[in-house]
Amino acid sequence: MSDTPNFTSENSAGTGTAETRPFQAEVRQVLDIVVHSLYKDREIFIRELVSNASDALEKLRHLQLADKDAAGTAAGDAAPLEIRVTTGEKAGTLTIADTGVGLTRAELVENIGTIAHSGTKAFLAALRENGGSNDNLIGQFGVGFFSVFMVAERVEIRTRSWRPDAEALLWTSDGSGAYTITPLDAAAAGSVGRGAAITIFLKPEQKEFAGKERVKNVLLRYSKYVPVPLLLDGEKLNTVAPLWLKNKSEVTADEYKEFYKFQCHAWDEPLDWLHFAADAPLAINALLFFPSSNFEKLGFGRTEAGVSLHCRKVLIDDAPRGLLPEWLRFLRGVVDSADLPLNISRETMQDSALVQKLNHILTKRVIKHLDELSRRSPETYAKFWQEFGHFIKEGIVTDATNREALAPLLRWDSSWKGDTKTESPASSSESPAASAESPESPKQTVSLSDYVSRMKPDQKDIYYLVGPDRDTIEHGPYLEAFRARGLEVLFFYEAADDFVANHLREFNEKKLTAADTADLDLGDAPAPAAGAGEPLPEKRLRSLCEWLKPEAKNVETIAAGTRLVDSPAVALNSDKYLSPTMRRYMQAIGRADAADAPAAGVKLEINPRHPLIHKLDTLRDTDPAFAKLLAAQVVDNALLAAGLLDNPRQMTARIYEILEAAADRKAQ
Ligand code: ADP
């Protein structure tokens, strides 16, 4: 720097020579913006100064640890390590004093007169690019010490370094381009102990920052957890220990719950929490809570992210974007990383490699924690799933990076329970409490791993069926083929499940396959049940299918098959991309074009052993008119069960005709 010291004689407080120096050109640039800024949240200057004070105290602590005599000979060395904030309401001043390392003359020039630190440098870089809204940049960067000139007419720093024989100095500036350093005389120096006291003479319109309540508010918001005692007009403010920095073993469950309610402004009890510390690859202390109720589910709109980001106990952002993936927005808590710069830009936060790394580490830990929870406490996990399962499904659909890791967390109901034909060992994750649930809330406790562990040796796919509830699926025509073969089927009750299956596609290299898909190779047909009757002869079958065709306009192909046991016919979906659920969804979102023509790809499979099929075959010779009625009804029933019958009105009229004919026959 080419700044030359400019010695002047005007000096009142000190004995030495007052030295006036211009600020470095870059500093003048920052000051110019800061002084003329209309930035609304000027209060952040308090955060910046308290953080500097806290850093200075931390540095001193380190020195003392390394060398007991360090910082031991200067005046005021016995002073307790603390930050004292004092309001001068009448005079319109605010003083922030610490007993930290203090500054020598050279340090005042080097550290406060020039810009070397990353935060302010980044600010300048952004300024060059941005040009326009400087006010915003101040909020994003904080701009360290210089932010004080948003509110100050003049600033005085009284300081004495921790070094032995360090002189007491007075630094003053009005932020307009130069500063003056004056050594204090013996009398004045006596009142200056080790550390730095920054006195702000507030601009007339910024006098609010000389008010105790106003300052208290700001301190509690940003600096409640600084690691040294923080006193405002003698009152200690940071009485609440930063729980997240404590060792897990030192914190009781009640303390966690209290913290959750107060710090996270929660109304419910936490269902569970995850408290961990890591050193590599990043220094992280995190305390994350899983709430017990999902307000989104109750219809309160989208939940806002609720995990705040701190850097060494100082709040950086209440809800930084990008700290966690969207689907984890239900989490509450605190993340603290010493590796973050305090004045990280809020706007660039999301793109910051550090925040992305944090996101990656945190997400992995949360998924692992949930997986462990499901083993350790299946009941708690069941509650979690009931409330927040949706978010996990959202993660599967929207977050390709974590999709695979999330799959083991999924839970569904399945045909396995109560299905005596599947001889599987009792699931170890099943709890007695969970199985006593009411029938209205199905027990969605089957994981994909459970399913895979029960798969038949030659079974290749994981099967699922979509339906509104257990009863409907169990009484529908699709399950019987699987039941007869002892194959487990997962029950999907929510539209989201279909999307989940479509995005996940497979688990442990086993494909997720809809059980109503045509052309499934289900392996050997089961031995026909006793009394199931003989199948229609091959030739009759073929001609019956031909004859049925005109009655089944909404069906693409008709064939006899081996999957059915109790039903005469079933409509199968061979359109791999548009399941009936998807079709309904497309209709709901107005994409009727895609949902049109339900017949596309529908295959009707008839059961050659079923008595009704036998009778239909006879009737088409003896009473063709009535046979046609029956045939049309069999087809519609199959489509109805498949969710593919769009217009059931014709069906009602037909049923009356059939009833009439049946009544006639009985009456004869
Ligand atoms: P930053 O904190 O980002 O480095 P600042 O402008 O806030 O930027 O501060 C510049 C430097 O001035 C600090 O790095 C520190 O060396 C010094 N400093 C500021 N406040 C104090 C203080 N209270 N005690 C000792 N040194 C301080």
| CA 53 to ligand 1 centroid distance, Å | 8
What is the fold, at CATH topology level, of the domain defined by 243-392?
Answer: Ribosomal Protein S5; domain 2 (3.30.230)
Best residue among 50, 111, 114, 226 to mutate for probing ligand 1's pocket (most ligand atoms within 8 Å of CB) is 111
Are both 410-422+442-515 and 533-574+592-668 of the same fold? no
Span from the CA of 82 to the centroid of ligand 1 (angstroms): 16
Q: Which helix (H) or strand (E) holds 478?
A: none
Distance CA 535, CA 564 (A): 12
Q: How far is the CA of 102 from the centre of ligand 1 (A)?
A: 10
> Which ligand 1 atom minimizes the distance to the CA of 116?
4
Q: Whose alpha carbon is nearest atom 20 of ligand 1? A: 52
**DSSP secondary structure string, 290-353?**
EES--TTTTT--PPPPEEEEEETTEEEESS-TTSS-GGGTT-EEEEE-TTS-TT--HHHHTT-H
Q: Which residues contact 634 (CB under 8 A, 6 or more apart)?
A: 568, 569, 606, 612, 616
Of all protein residues, whose CA lies closest to atom 8 belonging to ligand 1?
144
Among 30, 52, 95, which residue has the most ligand 1 atoms within 8 Å of its CB, making it the best to mutate? Answer: 52
| Rounded CA separation 378/428 (Å) | 10
pLDDT of residue 338: 87
- Write down the pTM of the prediction: 0.68
Q: How far is the CA of 90 from the centre of ligand 1 (A)?
A: 28
| Ligand 1 geometric centre to CA of 197 (Å) | 12
Q: Tell me, what's the pLDDT at 172?
A: 97
DSSP state of 426: P
User: From ligand 1's centre to the CA of 141, what distance in Å?
Assistant: 15
Question: What is the DSSP code (8-state) at residue 149?
Answer: G
* pLDDT of 126 above 90: no
What are 431-444's pLDDT values in tens digits? 333 344 444 455 78
Residue located nearest, by CA, to atom 21 of ligand 1: 52
pLDDT at 518: 79
Domain coordinates in residue numbering, the chain: 19-236, 243-392, 410-422+442-515, 533-574+592-668
Mean pLDDT of 237-265: 86
Distance between Cα 317 and ligand 1 center (Å)? 21
- Contact between 514 and 501 (Cβ < 8 Å): yes
CA-157 nearest atom, ligand 1: 23
Please provide the CATH number assigned to the domain covering 533-574+592-668: 1.20.120.790
Distance 552 CA to ligand 1 centre (A): 82
Span from the CA of 107 to the centroid of ligand 1 (angstroms): 10
The architecture CATH gives domain 410-422+442-515: 3-Layer(aba) Sandwich (3.40)
Residue 597 has pLDDT above 60, yes or no: no
Residues 173-197 have pLDDT tens digits of 999 989 999 999 877 777 888 999 9
* Residue pair 209/215 in contact by the 8 Å Cβ criterion: yes
- What is the spatial distance between Cα 270 and Cα 373, in angstroms, rounded to a whole number? 14
Q: What is the pLDDT of residue 476?
A: 83
- Contact (CB, 8 A) for 608 and 541: yes
Strands laid side by side in the 510-514 sheet: 413-414, 489-492, 461-466, 510-514, 506-507
Nearest-atom number in ligand 1 for the CA of 120 is: 3
Cβ neighbours, 10 Å, residue 56: 24
Q: What is the mean pLDDT of the chain?
A: 84
- Taking CB atoms and a 6 Å cutoff, what residues make up the pocket around ligand 1? 48, 52-53, 56, 98, 100-103, 111-112, 117, 119, 144-146, 196
For residue 51, the CA-to-ligand 1 centroid distance in Å is 9
For the CA of 117, the closest atom of ligand 1 is 4
pLDDT in tens, 610-643: 999 999 999 999 999 999 999 999 999 988 887 7
Give the atom of ligand 1 at the shortest distance from the alpha carbon of 198: 23
Please report the pLDDT score of residue 89 as a whole number: 96
Predicted confidence (pLDDT) per residue in 464-522, tens digit? 998 888 998 898 888 988 988 889 999 999 888 988 999 999 999 999 999 988 778 78
Measured from the Cα of 98, ligand 1's closest atom is 23
Given a cut of 60, is residue 651 above it in pLDDT?
A: yes
User: What CATH number labels 19-236?
Assistant: 3.30.565.10
pLDDT for the residue 149: 94
In 3D space, the residue among 647, 342, 609, 613 whose CA is nearest the CA of residue 480 turns out to be 609
